[in-house]
Chain A
Amino acid sequence: MPVFSVETPVIANGMPVRLVANAVSAGFPSPAGDDLEDEIAPISWVVRHPSSTFWWRVEGDCLWDAGIRDGDIIAVDRAGKRRVGRAVLAVVEGAVTAKILRKRDGRYFLAPANSKESFPDIELTEDSEIWGVIAGVVRRYDLE
C-alpha cells in the first residue's frame, strides 16, 4: 500500500507529471524493469486480418515444395489477393483443395507443388471458386 495515494494528476508547468508505474522493491531494483515488452506472438504475424482468417488442417503432400506438408495447420485468409504463384484454397466440384494458382496461355490452373509425386493440374472454370489465400503454416514436431 502506498503511504499517500495520488488521486489527481500532479501538474507541473501545465503538463501532468508521469508517475513511476513500476513497483519499487526495497532491495536491488530490477535492471529489466524499464525494458519489458509484450510476448512474441508469431500467430498475429501470420494472421493479417483476424476476421477473415480461418484455420484448416492439411491432408496430403501436394504442396510439399511450397513447404506445406501432411498434418500441417494452415491459416487461410479470404481477404488475401488472388495472385498467380500464390498458394490458395479452391472449391472444385464441391471439394476444397489446396493448390498453387498458375496461368498458362491466358488460362488459369490450380497446380500442385510436388516434384516427387505427380498430381494433375486442374483448370479453373466458372464453376470453381477460390475460397481464400494461404497466409501461413503452423507445424509442430515430437518432443518425447
Chain B
Amino acid sequence: MKRPIAISDSANFYVSAERIFDPTLKNVPVIVLSNNDGCAVARSDEAKALGIKMGEPLHLLQDKIKAHGVRVFSSNYTLYGDISRRVVEVYEDFTPNVEIYSIDECFLDFGGFKDRDKHARAMRREVLRLIGVPVRIGIAPTKTLAKCANDIAKKNPIFGGVLDVMDDALATWLLPMVPVGDIWGIGCKTDAKLQKLGIYTAADPRDMPTKQARAVGSVVLERTVLELQGEACLAFDDIEPQRKGMAVTRSAGTPMKDFDTVFQAVTAHATRAAEKLRQHGLVAGTLTVFFHTNRHRLDRPQYSGSRSTRVTPMSSDTFDLVEAARRCAQAAWPKGEGQAFGFTKAGIMLADLIRFEDRPLTLFDVEKPKSAALMSALDQVNNRFGMKTLVLASEGMKRPWQLRSDHRSPRYTTRLTDLPVVR
C-alpha cells in the first residue's frame, strides 16, 4: 500500500496574510513587493487578471496601479512568518508529521486516515476559520504527484480546494491538465528539451524510459519521472535535516559608498546569523562576506568583493562572528583610490555548521567563561524588548543601508505598537 503524502499551500499567501487584518483589500487587486520594493512577488487573483506578472518591476506597473487602484504593499515578513507559524499549528492537529517546505507550503503525512478527502476538507475549513487563510491540498503517493494535484486543485475551483489522486485511474485522467513546465523540479531549460521530445504534460513522462530521462536531464529528471510514475524517491522527512549552511543577505535601500556603511550592514547580518545559530544550537566553522555593486547598472563602475575565513574555535558568539566578518570585509575592500563604488548588496554566509556539543575543542582554547552568559543575556533582552534593542555599535545608529519598504503594513501580530485597531 502506497503511503499518501499531502501538500497544503496557500495561493497568494502574502496577499491572504494582508487581507486578514484589512477587509478593504477583499476583492480588489493587491500586490506585495519583493525585498527593497523592487518587483511584484505576490499578486491577488484580481491583480493577475489585470495582467500583472510575477516579478514585474514596480516602476513598470505605475500606470496599471493608478488606473485600477491596485493596492501595493512592501513585504512584511514578520507578519507572514507569524501567520505561517499559526497555519502550521493547525496542520499539527490533523497529522502527526508536518514537513515545512516553505513559508506557505507544507508536506503532511496522510498515512493511516480512512477518509482522506473528508479529513483534508476539514483541515482546510479549520485553517480558514481559525487563521483566515485559504489553502489548497493535493494528496498523492509521491511529493511530485502531490504537487501536481495541488496545482490542479488551485487552478480549478470545481475541486473545492482538495484533490486526492491516490487512485491511478484518476491520476491518468487528471495529469494531462498539468503542463510539463509546471511540474515540481522541472526548470525552463528541461521544459524546452522535453517539449522537443513531444512531452507536453505531466501525463507524458509516465511512459518515458528512465534511461532516456537521465540522458535528457540528469538524475533530477529521472527522479521526477519515477515520482510521476508513483514511485516515491523523495522521502517524507519527519526530522528536519541538519542545516549545512545559512546566509543573511539584503539589498541596501540606498547605495553604500564607504567602508563604514558596508561594515554596518555586514555587522547587522552577522549579528542576525549568530542569533539564528544560537536558536538552533549550532556553531559555524567558516564565514564568508560579500558585497557587490548593482549588476544591472553597467554604466556605473562595477565591483564585487568576497572573502572567507575560518572561525576558530567554531563559534556562535556575535562578537567572534562580527570580528571575523570585519577581517573579511577589510580584505575584500577595493584597493586604490579614486574609484567611487555604490554597493547595493551585502551579505554574509556561514558554512560548516555543526551542533554546539559536537564542536571540536582546540588545544589552546582561549577561555571566555562570560561569553555564553553575555550571549544569552543579549538574546533575552532582544527577545523581551524587541529585536535590535541591544546591538553592537558597529551596526551603526542611522542604518542608511536598510531596506526600502515604503509600503509595509503594520506588524499586526508581533508588536504592541502595531496592533490592528477596532472602533
Interface residues of A (CB under 8 A from B): 49-52, 54-60, 62, 73-74, 78-79, 89, 91, 94-98
Contacts and interface: CB of A to CB of B under 8 A. Distances in A.
Interface of B: 20-21, 23-24, 26, 86, 89-90, 129-132, 412-413, 416, 419-423
B421 A59 contact: yes
A91 B23 contact: yes
B100 to A, nearest CB: 15
29 contacts: A50-B89, A51-B90, A51-B130, A51-B131, A52-B86, A52-B131, A54-B20, A55-B419, A56-B420, A56-B421, A56-B422, A57-B419, A57-B420, A57-B421, A58-B421, A58-B422, A59-B421, A60-B423, A62-B423, A73-B419, A74-B422, A79-B129, A79-B130, A94-B26, A96-B23, A96-B422, A97-B422, A97-B423, A98-B423
A54 B422 contact: no
A55 B23 CA distance: 16
A59 B419 contact: no
A98 B130 contact: no
Nearest to B420: A56
Nearest to B87: A51
Contacts of B421: 56-59
A98 B423 CA distance: 7
B380 to A, nearest CB: 16
Given A51-B86, A94-B24, A78 B130 contact: yes
Contacts, number: 60
- Classify the interface of chain A: helix, strand, loop or mixed: strand
A119 B131 CA distance: 30
Contacts of A95: 23-24, 423
Given A52-B131, A78-B131, A98 B89 contact: no
A54 B412 contact: yes
Contacts of A49: 130
Contacts of A62: 423
Closest 3 CB pairs of A and B: A52-B130, A51-B89, A57-B419
A78 B133 CA distance: 12
A91 B22 CA distance: 10
Contacts of B131: 51-52, 78
A54 B129 contact: no
Contacts of A60: 423
B18 to A, nearest CB: 14
Nearest to A68: B422
A54 B130 CA distance: 10
